[in-house]
Amino acid sequence: MGDHSEALTRIFDGRSRNQWSDKPVPIELVRKLYDFVKLGPTSLNSLPARFRFLLSKQARERLAPHVAEGNRPKVLSAPCVAIIAYDEAFYEQLPKLLPIKEGVKDIFVGKDALIYATALRNSSLQGAYLMVAARLLGLDCGPMSGFDHVGVDKEFFAGTALKSNFICALGYASDEPFPRLPRLTFEEAAEVL
């Protein structure tokens, strides 16, 4: 096994960023980013996440009224903001995504609690894959949960089965990260059985 310390540092020592340079995030990089994200494992290869990459100023201005006041400058100044959503009808794609399991779609039909749990959990995983891949591709990240889900869903997903999970500003940070906050020790957070 090689030394991966540089990559691990880039991924895990990366901080949430709040201020952005005006350097654009090219669509080619966004496509490359998604091409990595789609490879990450999800339950039954369900891939329930759906992404809206807001590259235009107009799109970010549509989002801004729906985010917490403290998040508005982040959304408006970032060259890209990703809305990580989940598809409540993700299971419709399962015959394509998991062709080796006949009848896989039927596991979910009419089971709202299972649909929600699977979609939320796995779209969250895919959102984490997005941040890992973004950092490895040289982008900084600013994930946010301070927003009005109903407003964002109405603005960006009206008439669909999509629901927002969280948002993440992407780009090239211009701020200095604040000092790292405390973390729980292994003994406080883990148990070996």
Residue 8 pLDDT class (50, 70, 90 cuts): low
Residue 181 has pLDDT above 70, yes or no: yes
Q: What is the mean pLDDT of the chain?
A: 93
Res 18: pLDDT: 74
Asked if residues 104 and 95 have their Cβ atoms less than 8 Å apart, the reply is yes
pLDDT tens per residue, range 114-156: 999 999 999 999 999 999 999 999 999 999 999 999 999 999 9
The 3-state DSSP class for residue 1 equals coil
Is-above-0.75 flag for pTM? yes
- Comparing CA positions, the residue from 39, 46, 69, 66 lying closest to residue 54 is 66
The domains of the chain, with CATH numbers, are 5-172 (3.40.109.10)
DSSP letters, 62-74, are HHGGGB-GGGHHH
Contacts of residues 177-186 at CB distance under 8 Å and 24 or more positions apart, as own/partner, are 177/15, 177/16, 177/17, 178/15, 180/15
pLDDT tens per residue, range 47-68: 999 999 999 999 999 999 999 9
Q: What is the mean pLDDT of residues 99-122?
A: 96
The residues, any chain, with a CB within 8 Å of residue 135's CB and separated by 6 or more, are 10, 11, 14, 141
Q: How many residues does the chain have?
A: 193
- Comparing CA positions, the residue from 68, 88, 91, 84 lying closest to residue 164 is 84
Q: What is the mean pLDDT of residues 75-102?
A: 96
